[in-house]
Structure 1
């Protein structure tokens, strides 16, 4: 298994583009060329997702000479790639320059020739497991599986997956949906399986299914899709969810009921999104400058403010550049140091085994 860890530290936005492979332009040259292009076209970036509204405004403030054109804010990763395909020869406003896509879409886009390589100046502080070695795509932010707990109902907050087996959690724990049809519950099963000693893939599926079968037999597993409403009502006092969702739900509950978000002590599984530049970007230098901004400390902290853990989080934490008030809203930084990023192959093997074995092993449908 690959563990998220800091590879380097202390790289500034104004550094030269060294990133493991020679770059033809310095950042000053890219900035000048981007200002000459005068525009950047993004796609599928809703302002309430990962703090993107503030991130986009931060880029505009830093580079007022570059107009930001936003396409299809609520689009999917598949929609983004289709926009690149449909606009290969188009230099107009419907052609995206940059992409923010799910991990599995990065290698697929590279294979199809839809994206181009670029290594940002902070390249070395992006974990190897979360980037393409040639720079075609690279992780931008991630979530780790967590527990959100209604502390008005649960006196002792569980610290790890194994704790959920305790009798005091009878009828308390739920997934966010059915693991055979949703990625978030599917990866919850992986986290539990890893905590039980299984490597990501077929092993995590086997161990995870065994764990949930035991949890169901003990009467602790609630086959209801957990969300803010069920947490507030007490139907699902403990729910496994990506931390950025759990933290946002906590804020939505606004103390009614009180809620706490915990990253389990083991089985710390992470899910990552990636950035890429379109192979047909009408504004290639503005695209590079956008990437430099996103992977600078300022850009990374913008995502963190929206509860999405920036890919360079460990580097930021090590250098003590994360504001105290921002950290206070999050689980302890140490909880993220053990985050594991499963490969696409491991995720596929896990999904296949869970989908095939859930009925026979666990025997309940989550609705």
Structure 2
């Protein structure tokens, strides 16, 4: 999947790769911010299609947004799923021969894309209702949704449903984290645990100590981190972004009405991270790309993302049936965004190695 990557290490790989890539100046200096939404809509209809990267139908309910854009504006869509670093590298490598128009990248990759010169500025008409932390100064990248580290619980296995990191530590069931060497999601699980026990982006030690204790108990699952294994009951709890955990929960019940899974945000603390759209500065269809971003940040687009269990970046009123499937807002009280990205990037560079040496080495 596109999101299962080592954030900091991949950023480094992206930058080193791009340094040797072709490219050059963009095909045209299109000032999207100087156009009205109506003007963009008319020009987007002329573009006639849009090709995205890293925005597949199955992720965060992108499918509904793409279907509505085609229905409303006659703009056909096609996606190629890839990682954030791959998206940026593709934009840079193709350059003037661009085949893709817009991408969805991890929060840390927005500034990377801007630095590499592969972003086209567009603020959208919703600019003032987008939090400052979720956008750059002129629309090179804008976060559309975000996730929070949560825990998916198999209540058929776990007798007393936990609500905290401490509860999990005192349990007697298997705990799945994923591959900390390769998966951003797993790395953020360790960061969440670190914050819960007094650490932060520059001090991951408490998180490693927490999972080492679970490993020493013989409870750290070392098998492949898959939806199928979780569904089969091979683990009691699994650390996942909330939109993944909630999606799994509902899918498991759909597959088996007797299944009993719940999702919670750890009481002590948790960590959040967003995903942002970047419009390819070399795109041959800039207006279709701008219209897509406009729609993604509209009330309708934000609700579509919420239907895919993601947290919309704008404060929009969600339909009751959508709210009912989400985690109650009060559980997010102690969750926060990354506050020191530079420190986290440095920590993540060695986290995979430290996980092997300080956690896996103690597994029973």
Shorter chain as normaliser: what TM range?
A: 0.7 to 0.9
Partner of 1:213: 212
Matched, 1:324 2:295: no
1:185 corresponds to: 186
Residue matched to 1:333: 329
The 1:337–1:25 alpha-carbon spacing in structure 2 relative to 1, beyond 3 Å, is farther
* Partner residue, 2:58: 48
The answer as to whether partners of 1:44 and 1:75 remain within 8 angstroms in 2 is yes
- Over 3 Å counting, the alpha-carbon distance change for 1:328 and 1:366 in structure 2 is farther
Q: Which of 124, 142, 149 in structure 2 is aligned with 1:120?
A: 124
Q: Residue 340 of structure 1 aligns to a residue in which SS?
A: strand
Corresponding position: 1:70 with 2:117: no
User: TM-score, normalized by length of structure 2?
Assistant: 0.82
Which residue pairs with 2:341 in the alignment? Answer: 344
Stretches of structure 2 that go unaligned for 5 or more consecutive residues are 1-31
Task: Report whether the alignment pairs 1:84 with 2:91.
Answer: yes
Q: How does 1:199-278 map to 2 (within 5 A)?
A: 199=200, 201-203=201-203, 205-254=204-253, 255-278=257-280
Query: TM-score normalized by structure 1?
Result: 0.81
2:220, 2:363 within 8 Å by CA — same for their partners in 1? Answer: no
Aligned pair in 2 of structure 1 residues 231, 70: CA closer, same or farther (>3 Å)? closer
How many pairs are equivalent?
A: 329
Q: Name the residue aligned to 1:30.
A: 40
Q: Contact 1:180–1:351 at 8 Å: present in 2 too?
A: no
Q: Is 2:151 the counterpart of 1:144? A: no
| Cα pair distance change 1:25/1:44, threshold 3 Å | same
Which deviates further from its counterpart, 22-31 or 240-249? 22-31
CA contact (8 A) 1:45 1:52 kept: yes
- Give the 3 Å change call, closer, same or farther, for CA 337–150 of structure 1 in structure 2: same
Q: Distance in 1 between matches of 2:308 and 2:154?
A: 22
1:300 paired residue among 285, 302, 305:
302
**Unpaired runs of at least 5, structure 1:** 1-21
